């Protein structure tokens, strides 16, 4: 048994029994309740990893229940299960981090099993003692900027976009950074001078990702090495995100998410956290890369026996703690494995390719089929012109 515990909550006994049957094959302990209040009492005494809850229930509805769970036990994975709920309520719960995912009734057996298997893997990877002890030893844990919590609360209350823009504009430093980024070549939004415009063009998720990366790379740092490295990480992340958007167009991939996603911006935040909290290890990793030309940051970490505490695990750990979606956490955790299988495998493969591509542009700049086998020379040149334009 994996040690992972799944909690099911639905007022209909037939539903919890059916779910228990579906989950018999997964490597986890499954418990169920037909009352949200009873489930809360159980969670107070017994830790659980994954919660699947119905929405429409007597005594306490599922969204209120999951909201309480989020506040008290933020490391749980929380899933809404319902076939009779206003989709707007579901979206608000997902955007605000109250829920990490949504499963419809009736469910598809294969899909629900695939999702639960993914969540079990995430919990096992991010709850290992190596990463927990490593993070405990950090002198100052990175935190989300308060503006992001305020935005999350505004989304939960269904506040209009213009009011969220006003909220961001109360912070002149963040507003200036945000406008600087979106007016750069990385997003191609020329002459944008208001946050409402930014939100309309890019969407609230992308804006929040930009706020996160600009906040993490700031913070009163004075030594030149750290400043230069933070700038390099941020610059590379924006280029990778731009490459992903272009990749979807060049390859004619009819997947809206690939073109609009901003996972490229935040997938490497683990590097930032290592640099700012464990500079000695960061320098050791960079020196290993220097002494072994052509290897990646991740490969250098593995050479140094940092299994379980690479920038992948560290970044995914904090994204989960900050209530980023499970898709983000999974992609951040696996972005150096383009052969992984699962719901997010296509996005991971594209991110992997774009990481290699941007590094190739920066270090070599000439087409080499043996290195960039996923692009033709024409595609390579089209991508380069777009991605490297600053």
In the CATH scheme, what is the homologous superfamily, with its name and number, of domain 5-127? Response regulator (3.40.50.2300)
The fold for domain 146-387 equals Hypothetical protein af1432 (1.10.3210)
Read off the pLDDT band of 185 (50, 70, 90): low
Mean pLDDT of 81-87: 73
**Domain residue spans of the chain:** 5-127, 146-387
Report whether 154 contacts 163 (CB < 8 A).
yes
Poorest-pLDDT segment among 19-23, 253-257, 327-331, 374-378: 253-257
What's the pLDDT tens digit per position in 95-144? 777 888 888 888 888 888 888 888 888 888 887 788 888 887 887 777 77
- Three-class SS string for the chain? CCCCEEEEECCCHHHHHHHHHHHHHCCCEEEEECCHHHHHHHHHHCCCCEEEEECCCCCCCHHHHHHHHHHHCCCCEEEEEECCCCHHHHHHHHHCCCCCEEEECCCCHHHHHHHHHHHHHHHHHHCCHHHHHHHHCCCCCCCCCHHHHHHHHHHHCCCCHHHHHHHHHCCHHHHHHHHHHHCCCCCCCCCCCCHHHHHHHHCHHHHHHHHHHHHHCCCCCCCHHHHHHHHHHHHHHHHHHHHHHHHHHHCCCCCHHHHHCCHHHHCCHHHHHHHHHCHHHHHHHHHHHHHCCCCCHHHHHHHCCCCCCCHHHHHHHHHHHCCCCHHHHHHHHHCCCCCCCCCCHHHHHHHHHHHHHHHHHHHCCCCCCCCCCCCCHHHHHHHHHHHCCC
What's the pLDDT tens digit per position in 329-383? 899 999 998 888 777 888 898 899 899 989 888 887 677 777 788 888 888 888 8
What's the pLDDT tens digit per position in 114-127? 888 888 888 888 87
**Has residue 170 got a pLDDT over 80?**
yes
């Amino acid at each position: 048994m994996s040690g992972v515990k799944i909690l099911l909550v639905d007022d209909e006994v037939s539903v919890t029994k059916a779910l228990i049957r579906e989950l018999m094959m997964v490597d986890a302990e499954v418990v169920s309740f037909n009352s949200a209040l009873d489930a809360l009492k159980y969670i107070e005494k017994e830790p659980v990893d994954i919660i699947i809850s119905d929405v429409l229930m007597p005594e306490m509805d599922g969204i209120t229940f999951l909201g309480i769970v989020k506040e008290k036990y933020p490391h749980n994975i929380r899933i809404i299960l319902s076939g009779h709920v206003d989709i707007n309520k579901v979206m608000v719960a997902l955007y605000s981090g109250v829920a990490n995912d949504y499963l419809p009734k009736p469910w598809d057996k294969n899909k629900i099993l695939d999702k639960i298997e993914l969540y079990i893997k995430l919990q096992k990877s991010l709850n290992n003692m190596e990463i927990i002890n490593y993070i405990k030893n950090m002198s100052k844990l990175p935190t989300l900027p308060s503006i992001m919590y305020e935005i999350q609360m505004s989304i939960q209350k269904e506040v209009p976009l213009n009011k969220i823009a006003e909220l961001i504009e109360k912070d002149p430093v963040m507003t200036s950074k945000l406008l600087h980024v979106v007016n750069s070549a990385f997003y191609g939004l020329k002459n944008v001078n208001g946050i409402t415009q930014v939100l309309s063009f890019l969407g609230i998720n992308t804006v929040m990702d930009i706020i996160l990366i600009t906040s993490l790379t700031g913070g009163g740092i004075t030594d030149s090495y750290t400043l230069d490295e933070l700038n390099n990480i941020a610059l590379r992340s924006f280029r990778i995100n731009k490459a992903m958007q272009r990749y979807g167009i060049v390859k004619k991939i009819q997947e809206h998410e690939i073109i609009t996603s901003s996972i490229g911006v935040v997938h490497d935040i683990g590097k930032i956290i290592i640099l700012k909290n464990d500079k000695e290890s960061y320098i050791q990793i960079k020196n290993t890369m220097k002494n072994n030309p052509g290897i990646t940051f991740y490969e250098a970490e593995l050479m140094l026996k940092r299994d379980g505490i690479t920038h992948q695990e560290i970044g995914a750990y904090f994204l989960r703690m900050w209530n980023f979606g499970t898709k983000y956490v999974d992609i951040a955790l696996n972005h150096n494995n383009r052969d992984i299988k699962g719901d997010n495998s296509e996005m991971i493969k594209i991110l992997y390719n774009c990481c290699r591509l941007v590094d190739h542009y920066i270090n070599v700049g000439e087409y080499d089929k043996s290195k960039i086998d996923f692009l033709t020379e024409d595609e390579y040149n089209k991508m380069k012109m777009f991605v490297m334009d600053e």
